Amino acid sequence: METLLLDHEAVEANAPMADVTSAVSDAFAAYERGNAQMPAKSYIELDRYNGDFRSMPAYLDAGEWDAAGIKWVNVHPENAQKYDLPTVLGTMIYSDPTNAFPLAIMDGTALTRLRTGAAAAVATDHLAVEDATSLGIVGAGVQSYTQLEAIAAVRPIKEVVISDLDEERVERFIDRYSDEFEVTAGSVADAAACDVLSTVTPVTEPIIDRSMVSDHTHINAIGADAPGKHELGDQLLAESTLVIDDFEQTTHSGEINVPWSAGVLTDDDIHAALGEIVVGDATGRTADTGFTVFDSTGLAIQDVAAAHVVYGRAQAEENGTPVSLVDTTVR
């Protein structure tokens, strides 16, 4: 038995967005039905290095398949300046739940981008208007690419407005997608005026307020992943149909963490968890639904679901680098 090593190119090559989105939807359903185990994300704070490590283990049984794994990920804001490395690095260990054999070790950074886009696509599919043709994205970093690719797979997106303070990032994004979409640079307000909006920034002061969005807008709030981060104004959140991925994570470090801690938002302000909508226990968009918000913190079950897709396709295509990681002669 051998373990597959899959670098970022192999992960991306073996992850058709439609398949990843379907698997992530299955993961939300399994979690809601109680067919998943996902211990709380644990943190190791590294103040001397201005960074942290996070461990994200999970197991899920989706019915036709089950999967297990753990992602080891970090946030080191000074990496780019000091070490010419990304701020966030991740490694996924994907294991056979029947015997614990490590089936694959894969780039968790690429996997994170893919599953985050897929989660937004699942939410968009349930919460955005059916004829949504415009997508605004605030933040032109690496997450913006999979936001567009995933959301365009579930809605007929034609126009894209990209907003970022870094003009070079904006130009790179436009160059990448100008052949497929009508892509323009715009202000935050321009992006917020679209049918669907994804915010992927690290801000701690809200940049989107209620006046910027229409009554049919759907918002994927992606950027908040730590206490204190906050992209959407409190009034906007309070008046929205608010959907979360996981109560513990969103109240601790998701988009709602600041107003929740201040008592501005309560349980009554949360419409549902996305898993409840996926399995039909709560409603998605109806004719009476106004603007909607999906608070996405990123769940370990999503990583495991995406890894399931990547490993299965890599096996079928016979790619990746096999290594004899485990000495199977030892009993």
The active-site residue out of 41, 71, 82, 158 is: 71
User: Are 79 and 159 part of one and the same domain?
Assistant: no
**Beta bridge pairs of residue 54:** 43, 73
Cβ neighbours around 109 below 10 Å, total? 21
Predicted confidence pLDDT, tens digits, the chain (331 residues): 899 999 999 999 999 999 999 999 999 999 999 999 999 888 999 999 999 999 999 999 999 999 999 999 999 989 989 999 988 899 999 999 999 999 999 999 999 999 999 999 999 999 999 999 999 999 999 999 999 999 999 999 999 999 999 999 999 999 999 999 999 999 999 999 999 999 999 999 999 999 999 999 999 999 998 899 999 999 999 999 999 999 999 999 999 999 999 999 999 999 999 999 999 999 999 999 999 999 999 999 999 999 999 999 999 999 999 999 998 887 7
**∠ CA 20-24-243 to the nearest 5 degrees?**
135
Instruction: Please indicate, yes or no, whether residues 141 and 247 belong to a single structural domain of this protein.
Output: yes
Annotated binding residue at 323?
A: no
Residue 87 in domain: yes
Instruction: Enter the tokens of residue 188.
Output: 């935050």
95 among annotated binding-site residues: no
Count structural domains, the chain.
Answer: 2
143 annotated to a ligand binding site: yes
Kindly state whether residue 214 falls inside one of the protein's structural domains.
yes
Query: Do 14 and 103 reside in the same domain of the chain?
Result: yes
pLDDT at 73: 95
The DSSP line for 27-52 is HHHHHHTT-EE-PPPEEEEEGGGTEE
- The range of the structural domain enclosing residue 239 comes to 117-295
What's residue 130's pLDDT? 97
Asked whether residue 279 is marked as a ligand-binding residue, the answer is: no
| Residue 123 labelled as part of a binding site | no
CA distance 261 to 3: 44
Are 127 and 276 members of one domain? yes
Are 94 and 135 members of one domain?
Answer: no
Report the predicted TM-score, pTM, of the whole model to 2 decimal places: 0.95
265/308 same-domain check: no
E strands present in 225-302: 241-244, 270-273, 292-295
Q: Is 229 annotated as a binding residue?
A: yes
Give the model's pLDDT for residue 31: 98
Q: Is 158 a catalytic residue?
A: no
